[in-house]
Amino acid sequence: MPEGISVSEIAGRLGGEVEGDGDVLITGLSALREAGPGDLSFVVSAKFAADAAATQATAVLVSPEWDKPCSAIMIRVKNPDEAFTSITPAFAPPPVERKPGIHPSAVLAPDVECGPDVHIGPHCVVDSGARIGARSVLMAGCYVGQGVELGEEVMLYPHVSVREYSRIGNRVLIHDGTVVGSDGFGYVVDDKGVRTKVPQVGIVEIGNDVEIGANVTIDRARFGKTRIGNGVKIDNLVQIAHNVVLGDHAVVVAQVGISGSTEVGPHAILAGQAGIAGHLKIGAGAVVLAQSGVWKDVESKTQVFGYPALPQRQAMSLQRAYMKLPRLQQKIAALEQRLKEIEDTHGA
* Residues involved in catalysis: 242
Task: Name residues contacting a copy of itself, limited to 20-49 (CB under 8 A).
Answer: 28-31, 34
Nearer to a copy of itself, 67 or 346 (CB): 346
Q: How far is the CB of 192 from a copy of itself (least distance, A)?
A: 8
Q: How many residues bind a copy of itself (CB under 8 A)?
A: 115
The whole-angstrom separation of Cα 288 and Cα 229 is 18
Find the helix packing angle between 80-87 and 7-14, rounded to 10°: 110
Contact 142, 121 (CB under 8 A): yes
Query: Per CB under 8 A, does 199 bind a copy of itself?
Result: yes
Choices 6-14, 56-64, 110-118, 319-327; region in contact with a copy of itself by CB under 8 A:
319-327
Binding characters for a copy of itself, 216-255, by CB under 8 A (x = yes) = xx-x--xxx------x-x-xxx-x-x-x-----x-x-xxx
Q: How far is the CB of 126 from a copy of itself (least distance, A)?
A: 9
In a 13 Å sphere around the CA of 133, the CA atoms on its Cβ side amount to 16
Nearer to a copy of itself, 67 or 191 (CB): 191
Q: Which of 78, 195, 296, 301 binds a copy of itself (CB under 8 A)?
A: 195
Q: Which residues contact 209 (CB under 8 A, 6 or more apart)?
A: 169, 170, 171, 172, 230, 231
**Burial, 175: exposed, middle or buried (Cβ in 10 Å; 0-12, 13-18, 19+)?**
buried
Q: Which of 80, 257, 265, 283 binds a copy of itself (CB under 8 A)?
A: 257
Q: Which of 5, 19, 13, 21 is nearest to 69 (CA)?
A: 19
Binding characters for a copy of itself, 278-317, by CB under 8 A (x = yes) = -------x----xx-x-------------xx--------x
Query: Per CB under 8 A, does 329 bind a copy of itself?
Result: yes
Q: How far is the CB of 106 from a copy of itself (least distance, A)?
A: 9
Choices 4-12, 14-22, 58-66, 185-193; region in contact with a copy of itself by CB under 8 A:
185-193
Query: Per CB under 8 A, does 187 bind a copy of itself?
Result: yes
The whole-angstrom separation of Cα 239 and Cα 274 is 11
Q: Which of 24, 183, 280, 300 binds a copy of itself (CB under 8 A)?
A: 183
Task: Name residues contacting a copy of itself, limited to 140-179 (CB under 8 A).
Answer: 140-141, 143, 145-147, 157-159, 161, 163-165, 173, 175-177, 179
C-alpha distances out from residue 201 to 182, 218, 225, Å: 11, 14, 9
Question: For the range 329-338, what are the long-range contacts, defined as Cβ-Cβ under 8 Å and sequence gap of 24 or more?
Answer: none
Q: Which of 151, 265, 275, 283 binds a copy of itself (CB under 8 A)?
A: 275
Choices 12-20, 54-62, 130-138, 269-277; region in contact with a copy of itself by CB under 8 A:
269-277
Nearer to a copy of itself, 23 or 316 (CB): 316
Q: Which of 121, 133, 151, 207 binds a copy of itself (CB under 8 A)?
A: 121
